[in-house]
Amino acid sequence: MSNGMSMAPAIDTTRLTRHFGALVAVDALTIAVPASTIFGLLGPNGAGKSTTIKMLTTLLAPTSGSAHVAGADIVRDAPRVRERIGYVPQMLSADGELSGYENLLISAKLHHVVSAERQTRIEQALAFMGLTEAASALVRTYSGGMIRRLEIAQAMLHRPAVLFLDEPTVGLDPVARRVVQDHIREVRRESGTTVVMTTHDMDEADELCDTLAIMHHGRVSATGSPASLKATVGSEATLDDVFIHFSGGTLDEGGGYRDVVRTRRTARRLG
């Protein structure tokens, strides 16, 4: 980025912790995400990925520990964090009852993009995401891949320093998935935005991410580039092997009922 942030990490957390009653969802998490990289957060359901994203996007207060996102403290300076991030939740957050253009317009206004810039940026975003022709159609008529592209465009209108994508390709067919992945790469290349994403797709993590952190029971069990992680496990290892190795390899994790319902609902709406 042009503003001198490239040297400092885009995100750093220090013993970031969140309890839910007796459950420790995130346990003394300490990570640093270099600026202008794509950072993948992996782990089984219930490992603490979503809770981590919620804390970093200021939706949930930590129980203890601290974190800085794009230079601002997530607790003391939450409004500043919100100015500097873009967020695409796992659920389909584009409004189906509005057109693609209207979704972008509302996002631009809520992120305080000046009125003189709004039209240009919306048109650019639509062209960039290949949605110009569908701009005036209601989003509920869009395909899953179109909705995801629209959502990423919405989250990028105010040129955030950090973009959070929670399972951006879940439920998409292989072609749509490929298109969304290409756009994530493009976003990073064109704007230098740091991308933090979660995924269950190991091929995607391998191809897309510069750095990975594998979470297990609220802690980071391994971190590094996909290549270095594979080398740690074995010379022939795939990222699947890495995942199984560092997340305990057991089937009894499962995730909560609500997680599963939410993922299925998202998948159904995308499909």
Partner 1 sequence: MLSAPAARPGVWANAGAAAHFVGDTLTIAEADWRKLRHDPVELLVRAVQPALWLVVFGQVFGRIRDIPTGAISYRDFLTPGVLAQSGLFVAIFYGISAIWERDLGVLQKYMASPVSRVALVLGKGLSAGVRGVSQGVIVFLLSIFLRVDLRFELGAMVGVLAAIVLASAVFATLSLIVSCLVKTRERMMGIGQVLTMPLFFASNAIYPVDLMPGWLRVISAINPLTYQVDALRSLMIVGGTSVHGLGIDFAVLAGFLALFVAIGSRLYPSLVA
> What residues line the site for partner 1 (CB under 8 A)?
1, 3-5, 8, 54, 57-61, 68, 70-72, 79-80, 82-85, 87-93, 95, 97-98, 102, 106-107, 109-114, 117, 121, 138, 154-155, 158-159, 161, 164, 265
> Smallest gap, in angstroms, from Cβ of residue 126 to partner 1?
17
Looking at this protein, which amino acid is placed at residue 10? A
CA 134 to chain centre: 25
| CB contact at 8 A, 48 and 221 | no
- Tell me the two tokens of residue 162: 């950090």
* SS3 label, residue 32: strand
Question: Is the CB of 11 or the CB of 242 nearer to partner 1?
Answer: 11
> Smallest gap, in angstroms, from Cβ of residue 136 to partner 1?
11
Calpha distance 26→28 (Å, rounded): 7
Question: Is the CB of 15 or the CB of 82 nearer to partner 1?
Answer: 82
> Smallest gap, in angstroms, from Cβ of residue 108 to partner 1?
9
* SS3 label, residue 26: strand
Question: Is the CB of 170 or the CB of 212 nearer to partner 1?
Answer: 170
- Tell me the two tokens of residue 59: 């939706």
> Smallest gap, in angstroms, from Cβ of residue 137 to partner 1?
11
> Smallest gap, in angstroms, from Cβ of residue 123 to partner 1?
14
Question: Is the CB of 3 or the CB of 250 nearer to partner 1?
Answer: 3
Cβ partners under 8 Å of residue 212, min gap 6: 39, 40, 41, 42, 205, 222, 223, 224, 225, 226, 229
Question: Is the CB of 55 or the CB of 222 nearer to partner 1?
Answer: 55
Going from the C-alpha of 61 to that of each of 19, 93, 95, 120, 121, the distances in angstroms are 10, 22, 26, 36, 33
Question: Is the CB of 88 or the CB of 242 nearer to partner 1?
Answer: 88
The helix or strand, by DSSP H or E, that contains position 186, with its residue range, turns out to be helix 174-191
> Smallest gap, in angstroms, from Cβ of residue 3 to partner 1?
3
> Smallest gap, in angstroms, from Cβ of residue 16 to partner 1?
16
* SS3 label, residue 171: coil
Calpha distance 102→122 (Å, rounded): 10
| CB contact at 8 A, 249 and 75 | no
Question: Is the CB of 158 or the CB of 177 nearer to partner 1?
Answer: 158
